[in-house]
Structure 1
């Protein structure tokens, strides 16, 4: 079981919420990051629905889509990113669910983000493409501790850092891998960035996320740092679809 830990920079919230297994396919976390409101039946509301249709069409074929709907102060900008191992049908279902759920959880807000296991979905009245999102982030970690945290932490960082270099050399900005540990144990990892970032910005985003390992997941059997522009995950069991 994992614990999501939301962040409000520069402080970590002092509570943790345990999600029951029945919600494992639901959202991992969401944030209404813009408290400005739009009104029902307004041009902004219509553009937000148009954006949802646009991302629903654009994301599944390649696992990523971005775009804008409307003009001027009523323009809505958004992106959807599916996990690199998600099928087109899984991606489509996740993006559709995310676009509906975020409007229910952040009603009439002009900026919001929601994360699922298989996708993230973000929209804003501000133009954010190509910028590293440092404001929207949360942690998840396995409640089980490893027996040799110093060794395990070092190996985890080595694996993830190697995957960062691998991801930066692909057009998908996504990489997975595994590493042998002591006593026939294996460590599995995944890193991914939104594809509006350059390869260099993707590397910076992931390097900064990995630097948070001591705060996120010190000595834990599994963990994630999940943000609006990049994320990583590691576990001691296979979790990536072949």
Structure 2
């Protein structure tokens, strides 16, 4: 008699986990790259110094303001020990999420850029910047790129859709009448099947319309160079933020 091997039944929980991974896990951007940091070697401060005291006071102030404002800039201290700071939360998140994000950003900035007088940290829904030099209202064009490892089947056609959508957003965010320098767009297109591109652009509120547009245009150039073949990407700049995905991410109350 031949005994047939019968594999053990797969539990319903495992099946549900596998389904969740297939549905969501491979569509998300490279979230392990968050937080992202920029820690230029432009100076350092001593532990327990006046500069560190001013920095701690400033980050505490930013966390308090994040409860009711999604953009804030201030300074602490005087002369050589003066610290300038700025944060920006993505416009679609709640004030509660903004505060939580800035609290984490403050912690990560001090941990990942220890004793640096200049640093930027990007979290999932916010960014935080400190410097010993005033930078308010000035465009800073230093970008970090992140992209979804899943590639699109027709990068040529997809690249045209991405470029057109992001170019529109750069114009719209720069001229945003409420003064938030924020814009989103959904673009419907066909690539073997009906698809939707979701995109978001946001600049620091203290930038002029022209500098906002310049910052986002540079971010779009980065997308063309690194990511046009990817299902999703984001460009992180101290002065602006640009992202696109094939799923809706800018939903109030979420931080995906």
Common fold, TM-score beyond 0.5?
Answer: yes
Q: 1:58 to 1:163 in 2, by over 3 A?
A: same
- Greater Cα radius of gyration, structure 1 or 2: 2
Query: Residue deviations 1:12-60, cap 9 Å, x none?
Result: xxxxxxx6x6x58xx3311211442211221101100111122112234
Distance in 2 between residues matched to 1:185 and 1:140, nearest whole Å: 22
Contact residue 27 and residue 150 of structure 2 kept, 8 A: no
Quote how far apart the aligned CAs of 1:218 are.
2.4
Distance 1:114 1:204, change over 3 A: same
Mapped partners of 2:230, 2:144: distance in 1: 16
Structure 1 consecutive aligned stretches of length 4 or more whose deviation exceeds 3 Å: 1-4
What SS does the aligned partner of 1:181 have? strand
| Residue 50, structure 1, aligned to residue 57, structure 2 | yes
Aligned to 1:178: 186
| 1:227 corresponds to which of 237, 242, 255 | 237
In structure 1, what is the equivalent of residue 117 of structure 2?
Answer: 110
Aligned-partner Cα distance in 2 for 1:179–1:3: 19
Asked whether the 8 Å contact 2:120–2:130 carries over to 1, the reply is: yes
The 3 A distance-change label for structure 1 pair 105 and 28 is: closer
| Residue matched to 2:96 | 89
What's the secondary structure of 2:56's corresponding residue?
helix
SS in 2 for 1:167: helix
Q: Which residue of 1 aligns with 2:173?
A: 167
| Aligned residues of 2:140 and 2:238 also touching (Cα < 8 A) | yes
Kindly report which structure 2 residues correspond to 1:1-242, keeping only aligned pairs within 5 A, or say none: 23=32, 27-135=34-142, 137-170=143-176, 171-182=179-190, 183-242=193-252
Query: TM-score, normalized by length of structure 2?
Result: 0.82
* Backbone CA RMSD of aligned residues: 1.9
- Deviation for aligned residue 1:2: 8.6
TM-score by length of 1: 0.86
User: In structure 1, what is the Cα distance between the partners aligned to 2:202 and 2:77?
Assistant: 29
CA distance in 1: counterparts of 2:78 and 2:28, whole angstroms:
40
Counterpart-to-counterpart distance in 1, 2:85 and 2:224: 32
Report the structure, 1 or 2, having the larger strand content. 1
